């Protein structure tokens, strides 16, 4: 059963929105998928004091430690991207950060999200 990790705003969950900046997430929403349906949802709060200076890497490790196979991001930096790749977590690109976690998971299930092949945090200001 794949587990999809989504960096989230606020308290996370299916009705919350994607946080476009991976390393600035308030929480991680973990969604378990079985036979193209959502089977379980778990939210991990992020406490920024746990990883002063390298929050992106901390979040990437948290995703791997929770057995996620995939993650959906808008923007991700080099170190976090490398950490996810080292843990064999596929990184998918959310083309819009105005979607809820549920909407993004539906797009993932439908195969409508593209895999990122390199970090893209440099595009935030373009």
pLDDT tens-digit map of 40-69: 999 999 876 555 567 889 999 999 999 999
Give the whole-number percent of the chain exceeding pLDDT 70. Answer: 90
Chain centre distance of CA 75: 10
Q: Among 7-11, 18-22, 41-45, 105-109, whose mean pLDDT is lowest?
A: 18-22
User: What SS3 class is residue 82?
Assistant: helix
pTM: 0.91
Average pLDDT rounded to a whole number, residues 14-38:
93
Band (pLDDT 50/70/90 cuts) for residue 126 is very low
- Whether the pLDDT of residue 27 is over 80: the answer is yes
Contacts of 9 (CB under 8 A, 6+ apart): 16, 17, 18, 19, 25, 26, 27
d(CA 123, CA 126): 5
CA-closest candidate to residue 44, choices 64, 27, 63 = 27
Tokens of 26: 């308030």
CATH class of 3-123: alpha beta
d(CA 6, CA 92): 10
Band (pLDDT 50/70/90 cuts) for residue 34 is very high
The structural domains of the chain, with segments of one domain joined by +, span 3-123
Average pLDDT rounded to a whole number, residues 98-113:
96
The pLDDT of residue 2: 95
């Amino acid at each position: 059963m794949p587990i999809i990790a989504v960096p989230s705003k606020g308290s996370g969950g299916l009705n919350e929105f994607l946080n476009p900046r991976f390393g600035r997430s308030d929480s991680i929403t973990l969604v378990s998928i079985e036979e193209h349906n959502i089977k379980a949802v778990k939210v991990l709060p992020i406490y920024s004091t746990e990883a002063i200076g390298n929050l992106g890497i901390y979040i990437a490790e948290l995703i791997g430690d929770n057995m996620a196979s995939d993650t959906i991001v808008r923007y991700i930096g080099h170190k976090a991207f490398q950490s996810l790749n080292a843990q064999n977590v596929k990184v998918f690109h959310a083309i819009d950060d105005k979607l809820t976690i549920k909407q993004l998971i539906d797009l993932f299930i439908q195969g409508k999200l593209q895999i990122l092949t390199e970090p893209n945090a440099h595009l935030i200001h373009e």
